[in-house]
Amino acid sequence: MNFTSSNMDRRLSNLFSPALNDCLNIAQFLIPQRCLLCAAPAMAKPLCEECFDTLPQLTSNRCPQCATPTAQGEVCGACIANEPGFTSVSAPWVYGWPVVPLIRQFKYAGNLALAKLLAGALCNAARIRVDVILPMPLAPARLRSRGFNQALELARHAGVITKTRVAANACRRVRDSAPQAMLPWRERAKNIRGAFVCDHDLAGLRVAVVDDVITTGATLNEIAHTLRKAGAVEVHGWMAARTLKHR
């Protein structure tokens, strides 16, 4: 299998070159850092230890497939009624205060220093061995507008942490639909249908799909079906945070 990135994908994957990212990492150690939440000294990290420890943890009693909290950790009714294409979802945090502004700072303001922190937390929550890691693909128009794919930045760090191959371009998004966050929950599955194509043979592989937030699971479910058609035997969602309540 060849997971080599194309020149176009490398140009669009990030506004900042890998060399610049390395410089930023070095600068974090040379220049005193302040916690993004409380402004206390944070050494070389985006958050101080106290603020990091107070981030809202996702309960351990949750559906083993979609990570929705359940009374005894049993499979939730939604997954029983409509079994998802993905095998499991793991996430360290609830998508609530102050995780929300942290992820928005990373995703929309381009604070890439948060990528390592978020990736470390999601890898610690996953604790599942996989054969390959895929970032959730971003539509070309949105990639050009944002300048980088936040899921790819998380996946790169996750690959280093877990010593797992990152297949940055194994799957691509071919349909630029409305942003899922702008839609009511019930419309999201239809909005994302047919959005992905997998160009690689994943026969017999266990795959982790990395992204920042899971809400309804519609996007993960759609890409999971695509990856299974390409031969994946397991598809796991590695997310930084999980939204709990329907809007």
pLDDT single digits (tens) 137-155: 998 888 888 899 999 999 9
Span of 4-13, 99-108, 120-129 with lowest mean pLDDT: 4-13
- pLDDT over threshold 50, residue 214: yes
The answer to whether residues 100 and 45 belong to one domain is no
- pLDDT over threshold 70, residue 163: yes
The answer to whether residues 195 and 97 belong to one domain is yes
8 A C-beta contact, residue 208 and residue 158:
yes
pTM comes to 0.82
Is 3 inside any structural domain?
A: no
The answer to whether residues 177 and 72 belong to one domain is yes
What count of Cα atoms within 13 Å lies in the side-chain half-sphere of residue 69?
Answer: 12
What is the residue-averaged pLDDT of the chain?
Answer: 85
The answer to whether residues 140 and 48 belong to one domain is no
The answer to whether residues 27 and 78 belong to one domain is no
Q: Which domain holds residue 204?
A: 55-242
Amino acid in position 4: T
The predicted pLDDT at position 67 comes to 96
| End-to-end alpha carbon distance in the chain | 42
The answer to whether residues 37 and 101 belong to one domain is no
> Where does 174-217 have alpha helices with state H?
188-192
The predicted pLDDT at position 7 comes to 38
Q: What is the CA radius of gyration of the chain?
A: 18
Query: At 107, which helix (H) or strand (E)?
Result: helix 99-107
What count of Cα atoms within 13 Å lies in the side-chain half-sphere of residue 59?
Answer: 12
Span of 100-104, 159-163, 173-177, 190-194 with lowest mean pLDDT: 190-194
Is 164 inside any structural domain?
A: yes
**Mean pLDDT value of segment 69-89:** 96
The answer to whether residues 96 and 38 belong to one domain is no
Instruction: Look at the chain and report how many structural domains it folds into.
Output: 2
What CATH number did the domain enclosing 183 receive? 3.40.50
The predicted pLDDT at position 243 comes to 95
